[in-house]
Structure 1
Amino acid sequence: MNIIFSEERMPGQAVVEKMTEAGKLCIIEEGLDPKDIVVSVTFVDEEEIHQLNKQYREVDRVTDVLSFPQFDDLTNLPKGGEVCIGDVVICPEQALLQADDFGHSPERELVYLFVHSVFHLLGYDHLEEEDKVAMREKEERIMNQIGIER
């Protein structure tokens, strides 16, 4: 899996390595070949994610992560090379606040937000309770596999 990380506001190497490991497992979980998949990750401040949230979701507040999938259906991805399935935008400041609120490490929150977003890129949603439960189970399975448990 090729993850293109923005340089600005990028967390430490340990977090990036865990995100990379988790992303690969998410892709494998869905039966895709990680060598064919690209994801872009950008880290932004609270003001920028607020603006993006308002522009693209019509929600006028800061959020922790946004997902911008490139495909509605991943069953017929183009063959013959890497395919970018979407973009992830994370606000590290918001993640740190949430980590404190939830009582776990900043590393766990950042990696979890990335995993959550990758599953959105893979077509998962959590609008309905049944979908939310399925998505959370997948997220927790990946987090446990990389050794970052609750």
Structure 2
Amino acid sequence: MLSIDFIDETNEVTEKETSLITGLLQFAAEKEGIKEECELSVTFVDNEAIRQINKEYRHKDAATDVISFALEEMGEGEVEVVGMEGMPRILGDLIISVDRTKEQAEEYGHSFERELGFLALHGFLHLLGYDHMEKEDEVIMFTKQKELLEDYGLSRE
């Protein structure tokens, strides 16, 4: 079961759209075999805000569509937190640009809702450890995205 904390800094995302994201990510979590309680946040921002975040954390001075901050990535020198039994698994944070979502929906010729669902799912898969830096990983992640979106009924129109 996913618990999603939505923060809309744009005041543009409707309850219907957050419900769509909740349903899609719950569906994806079930398909991925996630059984435990999990938490994540989804923050909706404009292009300027995501550009600043992208510049600060990824050293890319450009607006992007979605940024994922996974809290479970165990890198070299990181310490595993113990004593968290019974607490929800915290997956991380997604930041989605509403401006880029609109632009890309128009560019790809589908609905804002479909693009928003795609970006939320893409970011969610990153939180689960999927990546697309290498060609083999890209094929795996993008195939999974496409299948989940189609199975949920959000395929490209």
Q: Normalising by the residue count of structure 1, what TM-score does the alignment of the two structures yield?
A: 0.91
* Residue deviations 1:30-74 (CA, integer Å, cap 9, x gap): 2211x511110111111110000011111110101100000126x
C-alpha contact (below 8 Å) 1:41/1:90 kept by paired residues: yes
Q: CA deviation at 1:99?
A: 0.7
C-alpha contact (below 8 Å) 1:53/1:62 kept by paired residues: yes
Q: Which residue of 1 aligns with 2:77?
A: none
Q: Which residue of 2 aligns with 1:6?
A: 7
5+ unaligned residues in a row in structure 2: which ranges? Answer: 75-80
* Residue deviations 1:89-108 (CA, integer Å, cap 9, x gap): 00101110011111111110
Q: Percent identity?
A: 37
The count of corresponding residues between Structure 1 and Structure 2 is 147
Answering whether residue 49 of structure 2 is matched by residue 42 of structure 1, we say no
| Separation in 1, partners of 2:147, 2:104 | 21
* Residue deviations 1:12-46 (CA, integer Å, cap 9, x gap): 2222111111111222232211x511110111111
Residues 4-13 or 111-120, more deviating: 4-13
Match 1:128 to one of 128, 134, 153:
134
Paired amino acid for 2:101: A
Q: Which residue of 1 aligns with 2:93?
A: 87
Q: Which residue of 1 aligns with 2:52?
A: 51
| Separation in 1, partners of 2:8, 2:104 | 23
SS in 2 for 1:68: strand
5+ unaligned residues in a row in structure 1: which ranges? Answer: none
Answering whether residue 110 of structure 2 is matched by residue 97 of structure 1, we say no
Higher Cα radius of gyration: 2
SS in 1 for 2:144: helix
Answering whether residue 120 of structure 2 is matched by residue 111 of structure 1, we say no
SS in 2 for 1:11: coil
Q: CA deviation at 1:144?
A: 1.4
SS in 1 for 2:40: strand
Q: Which residue of 2 aligns with 1:69?
A: 70
Q: CA deviation at 1:82?
A: 1.3
Runs of 4+ in 1 over 3 A off after TM superposition: 76-79
Q: Which residue of 1 aligns with 2:20?
A: 18
C-alpha contact (below 8 Å) 1:18/1:146 kept by paired residues: no
C-alpha contact (below 8 Å) 2:70/2:92 kept by paired residues: yes
Paired amino acid for 2:16: A
| Separation in 2, partners of 1:85, 1:140 | 22
**Greater helix proportion:** 1
